[in-house]
Each structure stands twice: as C-alpha cells, then as structure tokens.
C-alpha cells in the first residue's frame, strides 16, 4: 500500500537554529501534501497546504516566514522551522493525497509517522 | 469554523467489553468523517472513512456510524482487547481535516 515517510523521526535542536523536516510519498506522486502540528494531549491542527510547484497556503495564525514549506517535486515536501524556540516543540505530521483520477470521493489521504521536535 | 469534540477524553475498560467512542461536530455540511488510531508518539492509522452520503462503515470488530443531521458519529469496538489500547481520533473534512482531541482507551487484561 501507499506509504508516506518523514525524516527525521525526532530531532533536538538549540533555540535559534533552523530545522528541516522532510515528507516523502514513497510509491505515488502527490501534488498536494498537508502539514499538521500536534501539541501534547491536543488534537492535530492543520498548519498549511503544500502544493507542488506553487506557494504553500497557510492556515490563519500560522507564520509563513517561520514555517517555510517547499514542495519542489511530486514526492517531496519540506517544512523548515526557522529560528526555532521552545514553544515550537511539537509533533509534526504530514499527509499526502493519492489521487485516483475519479474525483475527490475516491482519493485517499495517507499520513506520515510524524516528527518529534524538541527545542532546548 | 468546524469544531470537533470527542467524549470521553479517556476510557478504561476490562478486556472483552465493548467500546463506544463519541464524536460530535458543529458544521453538518461535512465531506467525509474518518476515525484514526494513534499509538503513543506515533503517526495515524486510518480505521474507517464514512463519506457524507453514507450512514455507517464496518471493518472487522469496528463499526462507525454517522448522523449528519445531529452532527454525531460513534465508533463501536466489539470485544475489546489489550491491543486496542490507543488514542482514537475523529476527523471531518475532505483533505483539510479538522480533528478532535481524541479519546485515550486503555483495555485492561
């Protein structure tokens, strides 16, 4: 079945540094990927929609200059947390849409395993 | 804005008991409703997807119902097992999903 991978699975960094998280669709092409963030004991919150070949669309309240998203190919989207601070520590999960060609009702969304970011 | 609520937040049952997990949403004009399982520190495993035109979906011991008019979905897990211990998340939407905070289930052996 379709698999979405994320790298790294966990990362610890110092405050003020930048961290890049990769999301890959391993056996299908994904023109659209999504990035979510999950704080402990809370629900997943959609951060942005990553579109291949165009700018990402950010949800209200998400700083686009802080969370840089690049979807340079049909199988890879990256999320870069710039100048990370302890409050950015969270679990980041991506998802990718596998389109069936028969319309949205037949498309499938696959989630990656997540990346645990800890900012010291 | 779609708000998704899951009650209870946590549930502990003895092995063999049936589980009933509730999900409510504020906007009945939903596209799909999905139930996911999340193990501690892990990603999401899709359990069941109910399209807006459907009333329920079943997979093995799992059954999920959807009542759009009342803004509710219920996930039933029959004959629970310790391996069912996890957090169960409900989400609504097409691709851009709105998630509930989840119900953490513990099945005691």
Please check the confidence at residue B89 and state whether its pLDDT lies above 90: yes
Mean pLDDT of B88-106: 93
pLDDT of residue B31: 78
The A67-73 sheet, strands edge to edge: A4-7, A19-25, A76-81, A67-73
B-chain residues within 8 Å CB-CB of A44?
44, 89, 91, 97, 99
Find residue B76's DSSP bridge partners: B20, B63
Calculate Rg over the CA atoms of chain B: 13
Rounded to an integer, the average pLDDT of B87-91 is: 96
Q: Which one, of B8, B95, B106, B3, lies nearest residue B49 by Cα? A: B95
A30-43, pLDDT tens digit by residue? 889 999 999 888 88
Cα–Cα distance for residue pair B17/B106, rounded to 1 Å: 11
Cβ within 8 Å, pair A111-B43 = yes
Residue A63 burial (10 A CB sphere; 0-12, 13-18, 19+) = exposed
**Res. A103 pLDDT band, cuts 50 70 90:** low
Q: How far is A112 from chain B (nearest CA, A)?
A: 6
pLDDT beyond 90 at A79: yes
Contact assessment for residue B105 and residue B17, using Cβ atoms and an 8 Å cutoff: no
- State what percent of residues in chain A have pLDDT above 70: 95
DSSP string, A58-116: EPTT--TTTEEEEEEETTEEEEEE-S--GGG-EEEEEEEEE--SS-GGG-EEEE---EE
B4-55 per-position pLDDT tens digit? 999 999 999 999 999 999 999 998 887 789 999 999 888 899 999 998 889 9
Closest partner CB to A34 (pick from B41, B89, B96): B96
Map residue B82 onto helix, strand or coil.
helix
Residues of chain A found within 8 Å of residue B102, distances taken between Cβ atoms = 43
Half-sphere CA count of A100, side-chain side, radius 13 A: 8
DSSP B58: E
- Residues of chain A positioned with their CB less than 8 A from the CB of B95: 32, 34, 49, 97, 104, 107, 109
Output the average pLDDT for chain B.
93
Query: Which pLDDT tens digit goes with each residue over B76-87?
Result: 999 999 999 999
pLDDT tens-digit series, residues A46-73: 999 998 888 999 999 999 999 999 998 9
Residue B8 preceded by cis peptide, ω within 30 = yes
């Amino acid at each position: 079945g379709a698999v979405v991978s994320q790298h790294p699975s966990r990362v610890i960094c110092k405050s003020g540094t930048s961290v890049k998280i990769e999301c890959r669709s391993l056996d299908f092409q994904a023109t659209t990927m999504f990035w979510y963030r999950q704080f402990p004991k809370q629900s997943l919150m959609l951060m942005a929609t990553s579109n291949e070949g165009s700018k990402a669309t950010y949800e209200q309240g998400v700083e686009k200059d802080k969370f840089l998203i690049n979807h340079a190919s049909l199988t890879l989207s990256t999320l870069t947390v710039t100048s990370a601070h302890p409050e950015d520590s969270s679990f980041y999960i991506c998802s990718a849409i596998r389109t069936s060609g028969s319309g949205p009702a037949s498309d499938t969304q696959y989630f990656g395993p997540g990346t645990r970011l800890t900012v010291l | 804005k779609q708000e998704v609520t899951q009650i209870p937040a946590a549930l502990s049952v003895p092995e063999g008991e049936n589980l009933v997990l509730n999900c409510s949403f504020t906007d009945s004009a939903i596209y799909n409703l999905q139930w996911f399982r999340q193990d501690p520190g892990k990603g999401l495993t899709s359990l069941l997807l109910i399209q807006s035109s459907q009333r329920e979906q079943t997979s093995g011991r799992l059954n999920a119902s959807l009542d759009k008019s009342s803004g509710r979905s219920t996930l039933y897990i029959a004959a629970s097992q310790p391996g069912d211990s996890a957090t169960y998340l409900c989400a609504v939407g097409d691709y851009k999903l709105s998630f509930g905070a989840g119900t953490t289930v513990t099945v005691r052996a």
